[in-house]
A and B are shown apart, each in its own frame.
Chain A
Amino acid sequence: MNIASILATKGDKVFTIRAEQSIREALVVLAQHNIGALVVVETGMRPIGILSERDVVRAAVKNEAVFALLVSQLMTRDLVLGAPGDDLGAVGQTMVQRRIRHLPVVDGGKLVGMISIGDIVKAQRDQYQGEVDTLQTIVMEHGH
């Protein structure tokens, strides 16, 4: 199973923000869609960073005026990206190891979606459940 199979049921929605927008604007988008991170993009949906709720929380502790800051001031620029054909097993492994919660996915340099570690856990659970169910059915139905 690969990243594409997760993005296929996400309805073609990618939540993005631009570096020059304010943290207030970013928080509105996060709250509105009940999500944990936004991909910061340039023209042509080229990702340049990621802004997570944690980035904002960390800054808020130190700075009362966090709302007025720009996305570019808080975003993480060290972007780790996935590709649609990447195996979920390997990707999930690295995300857990490096404590990455959200992974922007690019195809030909263009942002096509984002997956969370929760998405991977769910996909893998469904896969195992499916395999167990198939085996059980074979055992129970065969030879009747």
Chain B
Amino acid sequence: MALGTAERPLRVAVVGAGPAGFYVAEHLLRRADLVADVDMFDRLPTPYGLVRAGVAPDHQKIKAVTAAFDKVAAHPRFRFFGGVELGKDLSVADLRAHYHQIVYTTGAQTDRRMGIPGEDLPGSHPATEFVAWYNGHPDYRDCQFDLTQERVAVVGVGNVAVDVARILCRTPEELAKTDIADYALEALRHSRVREVYLLGRRGAAQAAFTNPEIKELGELEAADIVVVPAEVELDPLSRDALEKSGDRAGAKKVEILQSYARRPPAGKPRRLLVRFLVSPVAVLDNAAGAVGGIRLVRNRLVASAIGAIQAQPTGDVEELPVGLVFRSVGYRGVPLPGVPFDDKWGVVLNERGRVLDPDTKQPLPGEYTAGWIKRGPSGVIGTNKPDAAETVAGMLEDVTAGQTLEPSEPDPAAAEWLVRQRQPSYISYADWLRLNELEVARGRAQGRPRVKFTRLDEVLTALGNRSRG
């Protein structure tokens, strides 16, 4: 009997309920020529990964993608096991005993370090921790950020850096219309932050933010955007690159920034200073053992032989008196217990989504990966769809070739029984849909999209404290 038929469905475990996991599930469940069961696990009780815990609360439109994930989850052969962690509640060996194929879609869970002195002083944080905190991620809800500081530096000009700077500049009234975590809204209500620096290593033309993002920064209710004219002048290298590539969006981005450089300040209570061509070289001490400033070196742009525009330090330094630093200079995956890891790129060791044996560099039967833990952190939510398609194509080839795991317990009931033993209070998709309704109802009362549950005990209480043990 062929695997992947109604008599003998392909059993797949997906570890990680973010966009990559849902796109893998979608590609498997939508095929007319395949019968597959997908069990999705997440260490958090709630699904959607960074769409819930990463995408900024004032960008609700982007979160609309979850409606597409809910459609996938409504498939009768899909199950969700929230609050179940690989390496703690289940091992890779457990998964191998219950599934023909395993897909790791756990994302890039940690940030890159700047590698400069003072980086670990109190008051210097990964931007991702601040993001997880304001988005109500259960692991970060108790983080503390010193919002009595008046000046903040955000290192980086990617979308996370831009989100952090924008949230710091929003008024409590603006934030109160979002689904920002309740405690974060309260903390930000008392924020004394007056100046936020966004620090880009290269020039305006190379900045990773998109035009809608940079336009939004110019339209903040209570913050003036400030740009140094000399830093957004188009240098010959960037001009040449923009012309050759015909990149109109890139040219427009520079124009928008130049228009900000000419704009007289409106005297709003906060200032957002977007700086280019600077790299931090040290986080400075305030003599009381916490962040008191940041030392920057000015950069010039150079082109490598292959045409890549890179920042080169000039030796000119300056210091900004900031009391809080958020670094957002890139992300990295973390190794999963029992899964080969490629330390060089910070991803699961893989070739086009097939997990490789670290010794032989040959595919491990039945193990795959997709999303940021496969390729590193790049692209938008939708980029994970073609990425997942590549992985699924490999999975189906291997099914045809008979190269799958041979689970001793392929019965869906056996997997569910195991989860019940290990994590009796796991969250099903039906549970999540109820939680979602409760969150939305709590939000409606306050004119907000939702009010999130941010603790597991809150979640369990809301669901009636049931145990499946």
Give the B-binding residues of A (Cβ under 8 A): 1-2, 4-13, 80-83, 85-87, 89-91, 93-95, 97, 100, 103, 112, 125-127, 129-135, 137-138, 141-142, 144
Contact = CB atoms under 8 A, between A and B. Distances in A.
Contact of B61 (A6, A85, A130, A142): A142
B354 to A, nearest CB: 8
Interface string B40-62: 00000000000000000000011
A134 B306 contact: no
B351 A83 contact: no
A144 B387 CA distance: 28
Given A9-B352, A9-B374, 14 more contacts: A5-B376, A8-B346, A9-B353, A10-B351, A12-B342, A80-B306, A83-B310, A85-B310, A87-B308, A89-B245, A93-B244, A94-B307, A131-B383, A134-B381
Most buried by A among B307, B381, B385: B307
B308 A90 contact: yes
Given A8-B345, A83-B308, A93-B241, A141 B68 contact: yes
Interface in B338-395: 342, 344-347, 349-354, 356, 361, 374-376, 378-387
B206 A87 contact: yes
B67 interface: yes
A120 to B, nearest CB: 11
Contacts of B309: 87, 90
Given A126-B387, A130-B384, A12 B245 contact: no
A89 B385 CA distance: 21
B386 A130 contact: yes
Contact of A11 (B61, B349, B380): B349
Interface string B65-76: 101100000000
Q: How large is the interface on B (under 10, 10 to 19, 20 to 34, 35 or more residues)?
A: 35 or more
A93 B376 CA distance: 23
B461 interface: no
B408 interface: no
For chain B, what secondary structure do more than half of its interface residues adopt (helix, strand, loop), or is it mixed?
Answer: mixed
B381 A130 contact: yes
B116 interface: no
Contacts of B305: 80-81
B1 interface: no
Given A137-B64, A141-B67, A93 B378 contact: no
A3 B244 CA distance: 20
B347 A127 contact: no
A96 B244 CA distance: 12
A13 B356 CA distance: 11
Nearest to B377: A5
B174 interface: no
Interface of B: 61-62, 64-65, 67-68, 206, 241, 244-245, 247, 304-310, 342, 344-347, 349-354, 356, 361, 374-376, 378-387
Contact of B65 (A90, A112, A125, A134): A134
Contacts of A97: 244
Contacts of B345: 4, 7-8
Contacts of A131: 380, 382-383
Given A90-B307, A130-B384, A137 B65 contact: yes
A17 B210 CA distance: 42
A23 to B, nearest CB: 25
Contacts of A2: 378
Contacts of B68: 137, 141
25 contacts: A1-B378, A1-B379, A5-B375, A8-B350, A11-B352, A82-B308, A86-B308, A87-B206, A90-B241, A90-B309, A91-B307, A93-B241, A126-B387, A127-B379, A129-B386, A130-B379, A130-B383, A132-B382, A133-B382, A134-B381, A137-B67, A138-B61, A138-B65, A142-B61, A144-B67
A141 B63 CA distance: 10
Contacts of B67: 137, 141, 144
B270 to A, nearest CB: 29
B42 to A, nearest CB: 21
Of all A-B residue pairs in the complex, the 3 with the closest CB atoms, nearest first, are A130-B383, A11-B351, A94-B307
Most buried by A among B344, B380, B382, B384: B382
B356 A4 contact: no
A125 B354 CA distance: 21
Given A91-B307, A130-B385, A9 B206 contact: no
Contacts of A144: 67
Contacts of A7: 345
A12 B345 CA distance: 9
Contacts of B383: 126-127, 129-131
Nearest to A105: B306
A64 to B, nearest CB: 36
Contacts of A103: 306
B333 to A, nearest CB: 9
Nearest to B353: A9
A129 B361 contact: no
